[in-house]
Structure 1
Amino acid sequence: MESVRLLVLVLALLWSPGASGLRFIGDLRMDLSAVIRRVDRSFLSVTVDASLAAEEKFMSLLSSAKVRTLAKALSPSFLRFGGTRQDFMEFSPQRSHQDSGSTEDESCDQLELPSWLENQLKKAWTKQQLTLMREDLHRKYRRVKFTEDTVDLLNSFSVCSGMDLIFGLNALLRTDDNIWNSSNAGSLLQYCESRRYRMSWELGNEPNSYEKKAGVRVDGLQLGRDFSRLREMMSQSEFYRGAGLFGPDVGQPRDRRVDLLEGFLKTGSEAVDAITWHHYYVNGRDTSLEDFLDPEVLDSLALKTKEVLEKVRLVSPEKPVWLGETSSAYGGGAVGLSDTFAAGFMWLDKLGLAAKLGLDVVMRQVFIGSGSYHLVDENLDPLPDYWLSVLYKRLVGPEVLKVEFSSVAQRKRVRLYLHCANRKSYQSGAVTLISMNLSQKPVWISVPARVSSSTVEAFVLQSDRPEEEGLYSRCVTLNGVVLKMVDDRTLPDLKGTRLPPDEHLQLPAFSLAFFVLTDAGAPACK
């Protein structure tokens, strides 16, 4: 196959003593002839944390017109309902199936939350989060019973937002022989089938931590058998026979987690449609801004991913591997960091690197829920990572292209990934350069002559405040304009800036950017 090599000269402005202005740093080579990876159409997906159902009334926040407007902009997407508290929840039906909540005749508008109730719930949710944080800190989790209302609201939210629901079942309901007790899940599946709710399933969340959370130890072999039992139940259902099942949602490889994954693969890999694992870079309780900008911290994802992929490919080489839950910092996120502009570097780099390494889906913890790593805050307003996610959805296609950057000195802090552009937004052959500048010096990328006549649309994200102070901001600008909703049902225009031919592509200090070369004519993208 003919290889098309493009040389991109990268220049940077250095202000250190003795610097003489612009200095050559290195070159970027892009192979536009072949796709090296292809990710799922719902690659960037999101979660709703099960903590939202700790008191069932808060599930009604998913009926907010504002929340649904924000969610629609992230479709197509999987919507995972799960997390720590899913293993402390039991389905407790309160009414006959015929009297269930939403019906197919009701429109999404009819099911929206009244504004007065939304305001009440937002105030109460702020207090509820303190209770949830205390439970997490002490690892003392109370049993929660949820009714048909939770399921109805999740279904309505996923349908009206254009997302595919994945429901996480409780795996800590166990018999005296330490086998999963499937009776409660059976009741839930029966209810969902009676309502014709199209959804997929998971079983358990981070089984490696069951002993700490609940004093229960489950080995990987038994875990796989539990999943096989769930698959058997699904196969007996005419409606869920072909539905998705994903797992085991184990934490990133370390100590016993590796044994758990290996054991699960032996007995359960055939039962699932994708292998899922979780990844966080740092501990949210003792991290720093420096960690969020540290190239070595960002590169740690590659080591963990390669280890998981290696284990899976030994047993099920064709099985997709997903990041079933992921964000910047575990423990609910890092207060004042995971919900700020600084978090965008970890998030965008994870998207770029995960696609390059061969992960098919990345589920962001959390779209809405407790903690500091949410995309939508406690006032239901979008945070910087939300806007970054929407732009990624609109601009980036599933095809990954090969890029190489020769400068050892700058390749760590100037991080670049290349995809075909999203074909719903751009013509065939267009490419999108995903760009990050983790340094306090601006960088220029010189477009080569071969594509210098191509139209370039620049989408540059920066904080609304200058220098390092801006990294702590919860606001973000697109090409200099602060992003915020026009109203509860309307997002702003997310338009790029067209650059003149031969113009250098500028990456300001501490910036994130997408550069779309609309007329690149990449053979791999046709």
Structure 2
Amino acid sequence: MGQPGAMKSSGALAPLALFSTLLFLALYAKTVLALFLAEDFESVSLDMNVHSVHKRVNERFLSVTIDASLVAEERFMYLLGSPKLRALAKALTPAFLRFGGTKQDFMKFNPQSEYLSSKSNSRKSVHYQGYSCDRFELPPLLEDKLKQEWTLQTSLLHQEELQRKYKKVKFSEYAVDLLYSFANCSGLDLIFGLNALLRTPGNTWDSQNAEVLTSYCESRHYVMSWELGNEPNSYEKKAGIRIDGHQLGQDFLHLRNILQESKLYHSSGLYGPDVGQPREHHKDILTEFLETAADAIDATTWHHYYVNGRDASLEDFLDPQVLDTLAVKTNEVLETVLSVSPMKKVWLGETSSAYGGGAMGLSDTFVAGFMWLDKLGLAAKMGLDVVMRQVLIGSGTYHLVDDNLDPLPDYWLSVLYKRLVGPEVLKAGVLSNSVPKRLLRVYLHCTNRNSSSYRQGAVTLFTLNLSKHQINISLPARISNSSIKAFVLQSAEPGEKGLYSRAIKLNGALLKMVDERTLPPLSGAEVPLGEPLKLPGLSFAFYILQQAHAAVC
């Protein structure tokens, strides 16, 4: 009799057990989905001050260099006559163009014209008809030949760098003509780096060769500025010559006197001393130099690289602690300059991701953009007046334009920065205390009014997402209803593999030149009104807040 009752009870419980199981599975699925979504994106809020200017930088803040190694074989200077390269350079204006680097201290001006062959004739003027941009334009067949040969030349220069055996080279007035034509026809302001390792027996700078060069440039009416020497702290290692800061200062004072005697260059810019980033010996050189020759220069220049290119890793390029080392080194330089010459502007006279020519497979790929954009943001925030990117074109792997003269990801990033970011630096920060605060870097400027159609009062927010997950960014309530244009830059390939890509997408569209002389339109995408900014993982972006109503902008 008891068995039938037990069977009935069990049957009644079966649906309840099934319901409980389904409920458990539903709750479990919801929890898993929630966890998945939590990992898929994070949300943060920003604090933004659009009422006062924190810093103001030079309108040529983002500037570029051409490494002096290009003149190691003078024929390669003809690459500067490429219409394609000139079109790419023009898109980066206004900017300085520094011609210098390690090779500048191993090169000597060797004019072919008889009237320039001796110092006694160096001040003679010649009949000069002016320069023509068409005259120096490189024919396509010659351009293709030089690009093929340049690939081999860069390999030879890399070996020279590794061995630290630097060959002395000579360059003629034709190289100078090509360089100046490139700068002038592209709209860049040329800074020429003179050789500081031409020394007298008493270890003072021998200025004879520089005087011949400046006289030639003056005879051609070449408007330009000057530097003397590159990373003097490494002269002993590179050339067996030691120069202290005081002597270097005396050399600069001598150069300033030479320039003041010139009708054309008496008030031209002179920048230096182009020391490496602070270490004990470097700081001594900079301090002694400024104590001796601060009045001779228009800005103090120093160099910065994050890591050694020979052993840098992918993780280095995405590590917030590595990126923060720039602030540490910048503070040291600013403190030194402030203590000796408080009103002197400070420039990053040469900089990129990794020293030693860059990190192979990293410095010319998408991932390098995290170091480059963060450097631009942090340097401006700290008040560095100019940042010169090593290099536009030249040996190494940290260039903006590859050996075929095609633009690399950092080039497109630089062009967007030029078009969208103004010189007025504002304050912005992440309010969240969660993980994204470390992995989200944010910077705020007035929008560039000179090269954009955005209305007065607009601001540009640029951001880097170092995490693998999307970050949703909420703006302050007072500007959350502003119309927003987004310029989101992602690798052309998905996943971690994409970090090694040499191609980049803007709002999902691959960036490439329309033809050899034309850049594509770089258009922003509308962000739906009131929605947070959705920054994908491992990407960076510019956002134009068109109705920020920033009175200072």
What TM-score results when the alignment is normalised by the length of structure 1?
A: 0.94
State the distance in 2 between where 1:382 and 1:102 align: 39
Q: Hey, what does 2:69 align to over in structure 1?
A: 51
State the distance in 1 between where 2:41 and 2:505 align: 28
- Structure 2 counterparts to residues 456-475 of structure 1, below 5 A: 456-475=484-503
Q: Hey, what does 2:443 align to over in structure 1?
A: 417
1:398 aligned counterpart, secondary structure? strand
State the distance in 1 between where 2:383 and 2:457 align: 22
Offset from partner CA, 1:350-398 (integer Å, 9 cap, x none): 0000000010000000000000000000011000000000000000000
In structure 2, relative to structure 1, the CA distance for the partners of 1:372 and 1:20 (3 Å cut) is closer
Shift of 1:467: 1.4
In structure 2, relative to structure 1, the CA distance for the partners of 1:387 and 1:18 (3 Å cut) is closer
Q: Hey, what does 1:7 align to over in structure 2?
A: none
State the distance in 1 between where 2:137 and 2:127 align: 11
- Structure 2 counterparts to residues 335-374 of structure 1, below 5 A: 335-374=360-399
* Amino acid corresponding to residue 268 of structure 1 in structure 2: A
Paired residue total? 512
1:122 aligned counterpart, secondary structure? helix
State the distance in 1 between where 2:152 and 2:42 align: 54
User: Which of 37, 55, 77 is the matching residue for 1:37?
Assistant: 55
- Structure 2 counterparts to residues 182-331 of structure 1, below 5 A: 182-331=207-356
1:434 aligned counterpart, secondary structure? strand
Is 1:447–1:503's contact at 8 Å kept on the other side of the alignment? no
1:178 aligned counterpart, secondary structure? coil
State the distance in 1 between where 2:312 and 2:419 align: 32
State the distance in 2 between where 1:23 and 1:434 align: 19
In structure 2, relative to structure 1, the CA distance for the partners of 1:15 and 1:495 (3 Å cut) is farther
Shift of 1:520: 1.0
User: Which of 172, 178, 196 is the matching residue for 1:147?
Assistant: 172
Query: Which shows bigger deviation, 445-454 or 260-269?
Result: 445-454
In structure 2, relative to structure 1, the CA distance for the partners of 1:458 and 1:149 (3 Å cut) is same
Is 1:442–1:508's contact at 8 Å kept on the other side of the alignment? yes
State the distance in 1 between where 2:157 and 2:43 align: 49
- Structure 2 counterparts to residues 477-488 of structure 1, below 5 A: 477-488=505-516
1:366 aligned counterpart, secondary structure? strand
State the distance in 1 between where 2:38 and 2:346 align: 48
Establish whether residue 490 from structure 1 lines up as the match of residue 515 from structure 2: no
Q: Hey, what does 2:414 align to over in structure 1?
A: 389
In structure 2, relative to structure 1, the CA distance for the partners of 1:430 and 1:488 (3 Å cut) is same
Is 1:384–1:474's contact at 8 Å kept on the other side of the alignment? yes
State the distance in 1 between where 2:321 and 2:176 align: 41
In structure 2, relative to structure 1, the CA distance for the partners of 1:502 and 1:245 (3 Å cut) is same
Establish whether residue 453 from structure 1 lines up as the match of residue 481 from structure 2: yes
State the distance in 1 between where 2:272 and 2:234 align: 15
Q: Percent identity?
A: 63
Query: Which shows bigger deviation, 208-217 or 444-453?
Result: 444-453
Establish whether residue 113 from structure 1 lines up as the match of residue 138 from structure 2: yes
Is 2:45–2:475's contact at 8 Å kept on the other side of the alignment? no
State the distance in 1 between where 2:291 and 2:225 align: 22
2:352 aligned counterpart, secondary structure? strand
* Amino acid corresponding to residue 422 of structure 1 in structure 2: N
Structure 1: 4+ residue segments shifted above 6 A: 21-24, 97-103
Q: Hey, what does 1:5 align to over in structure 2?
A: none
Establish whether residue 82 from structure 1 lines up as the match of residue 110 from structure 2: no
Establish whether residue 62 from structure 1 lines up as the match of residue 87 from structure 2: no
Q: Hey, what does 2:529 align to over in structure 1?
A: 501
Shift of 1:26: 4.2
State the distance in 2 between where 1:23 and 1:478 align: 21
2:226 aligned counterpart, secondary structure? strand
In structure 2, relative to structure 1, the CA distance for the partners of 1:138 and 1:23 (3 Å cut) is closer
* Amino acid corresponding to residue 431 of structure 2 in structure 1: S
State the distance in 1 between where 2:219 and 2:70 align: 24
State the distance in 2 between where 1:102 and 1:340 align: 47
Shift of 1:101: 12
User: Which of 89, 101, 106 is the matching residue for 1:71?
Assistant: 89
* Amino acid corresponding to residue 91 of structure 1 in structure 2: F
1:412 aligned counterpart, secondary structure? helix
State the distance in 1 between where 2:523 and 2:43 align: 30
Offset from partner CA, 1:43-72 (integer Å, 9 cap, x none): 000000000000000000000000000000
Establish whether residue 91 from structure 1 lines up as the match of residue 116 from structure 2: no
User: Which of 162, 177, 184 is the matching residue for 2:202?
Assistant: 177
Offset from partner CA, 1:93-135 (integer Å, 9 cap, x none): 1015699999655532342100000011001101111110111
Is 2:41–2:471's contact at 8 Å kept on the other side of the alignment? no
* Amino acid corresponding to residue 345 of structure 1 in structure 2: F
* Amino acid corresponding to residue 325 of structure 1 in structure 2: E
State the distance in 2 between where 1:470 and 1:450 align: 37
State the distance in 2 between where 1:488 and 1:104 align: 30
In structure 2, relative to structure 1, the CA distance for the partners of 1:414 and 1:104 (3 Å cut) is farther
State the distance in 2 between where 1:71 and 1:456 align: 29
Task: Identify unmatched segments of 5+ residues in structure 1.
Answer: 1-13
Establish whether residue 379 from structure 1 lines up as the match of residue 397 from structure 2: no
Shift of 1:452: 3.4
Shift of 1:407: 2.5
In structure 2, relative to structure 1, the CA distance for the partners of 1:146 and 1:22 (3 Å cut) is closer
State the distance in 2 between where 1:35 and 1:307 align: 23
State the distance in 2 between where 1:195 and 1:96 align: 16
Is 1:447–1:502's contact at 8 Å kept on the other side of the alignment? no
Offset from partner CA, 1:421-468 (integer Å, 9 cap, x none): 001212210000011101100011123442233220000000011111
What TM-score results when the alignment is normalised by the length of structure 2?
A: 0.90
Establish whether residue 519 from structure 1 lines up as the match of residue 537 from structure 2: no
Shift of 1:302: 0.1
Bigger-Rg structure (1/2)? 2
Shift of 1:18: 7.0
Is 1:97–1:194's contact at 8 Å kept on the other side of the alignment? no
- Structure 2 counterparts to residues 152-163 of structure 1, below 5 A: 152-163=177-188
Task: Identify unmatched segments of 5+ residues in structure 2.
Answer: 1-31, 117-123
Is 2:44–2:471's contact at 8 Å kept on the other side of the alignment? no
State the distance in 2 between where 1:316 and 1:343 align: 34
User: Which of 450, 456, 465 is the matching residue for 1:428?
Assistant: 456
Shift of 1:499: 1.7
In structure 2, relative to structure 1, the CA distance for the partners of 1:16 and 1:353 (3 Å cut) is farther
